[in-house]
Amino acid sequence: MIASLSRLKPRPISSVCALDPRGPGRMANDLDTSRRAVVSALGAGLAATAASSGSAGAEPAPRRIVGDPTTKYPKGPFPQQHQAYPGLASKMNPRPDHGETSYHGSGRLAGRKALITGGDSGIGCAAAIAFAREGADVAITYLPVEEPDAREVVALIQRAGRKAVALPGDLRSRDFCRQVVDGAASGLGGLDILVNAAGRQHSVDAIADLSDQQFDDTFKINVYALFYLCKAVLPHFKAGAAIINTTSVEAYDPDPNIIDYAATKAAIMNFTKSLAKQVGKKGIRVNAVAPGPVWTPLQISGGQSEEKLKKFGLDTPLGRPAQPAELAPLYVVLASDENSYSTGQVYAAVGGRGGP
């Protein structure tokens, strides 16, 4: 989800590093070899469980049983539900699977340091859990009102034996985005991965009802913040670093009721390809993931109409929406040094409903 509205004051999670809203850097409390190579790497990444200490050593994971992807997770019709924006994953029915009990690491990101926006829930949360279990220290951004979800993510990162940095605030602010990068780098002792997962989506049937404020906020959160963050992390990055952006099936197959959101996702896809060409000579890779329908708070807090929410994901060939946990392995592969020849690429996980 996105970072906070300016009127909300951050409430840092105790026992982890949190960005002090009073100024930059002040701390309080303390993914082209080929798509075949990516698929191969994905399989390898689920082979073992990272040691609880977070070291590169790994223990064998229990044998995984391959199941039917059409029945692996819940499908609609979903219960009628609505939460005030931005919503909490912990209050969704059914509750999303972020990989809390299912993701097993193998030390593929040992020693890495990642900043993940929207890390409290949805895809950002799933990436944070996976990164920590692969051996990375992780900083997350989130809305202060999403702190209940953020607390759970922080606990899971720490349980994996990794450092967690909590950064509540408003990603619409250029200054805050700069502070987030400085805070993450300071709290983690460096930075070499940026995952832009935060996003704003609100369904509006007619353009006449799409307010200037909503259009502006959607672009500020989805595009402007991504620009601010990418620009701010580059001075911290060395060869081998990676940026992973989050575009969408909406970038190339847009729905009529989220035209502002779809437009931002098309912008993100092109931004990714352009930036990858610019920083490739520095050894920095930039890729993106393009999800299809994913069961996250984004959907139940205005992202879909209540009628569409009931049938969410049923129109895909797999007949259901994805769970955040199913996206996390893509982010791990894109961050991993094993995928070192992939840059400027967009990798889809859309349940069969087209691709980039």
Q: Nearest to residue 15, comparing CAs of 126, 111, 155?
A: 155
By CB atoms closer than 10 A (0-12, 13-18, 19+), residue 101 is: exposed
Distance CA 221, CA 52 (A): 35
Dist. CA 276–CA 343, nearest whole Å: 6
DSSP summary character for residue 323: P
Q: What are phi and psi of 50, to 5 degrees?
A: -65, 145
How many other CB atoms are found less than 10 A from the CB of residue 142? 33
Cα distance between residue 236 and residue 241, in whole Å: 9
- In DSSP notation, 153-167 reads HHHHHHHTT--EEEE
Nearest to 118 by CA among 312, 304, 263, 291: 291
- C-beta separation of 179 from 25 below 8 A: yes
Alpha carbons 343 and 334: distance in angstroms, whole number: 9
Helix (H) / strand (E) containing 279: helix 259-279
Buried/exposed 20-29: b ≥16 CB within 10 Å, e otherwise: bbeeeeebee
Based on the residue annotation, tell me whether 261 is a catalytic residue of this protein.
yes
As a whole number of angstroms, the distance between CA 303 and CA 204 comes to 9
- DSSP state at residue 170: -
Encoding tokens for residue 337? 């040094």
Find, among 309, 302, 290, the residue nearest to 201 by Cα. 302
Q: Which of 103, 142, 224, 261 is catalytic?
A: 261
Residues that are catalytic: 261
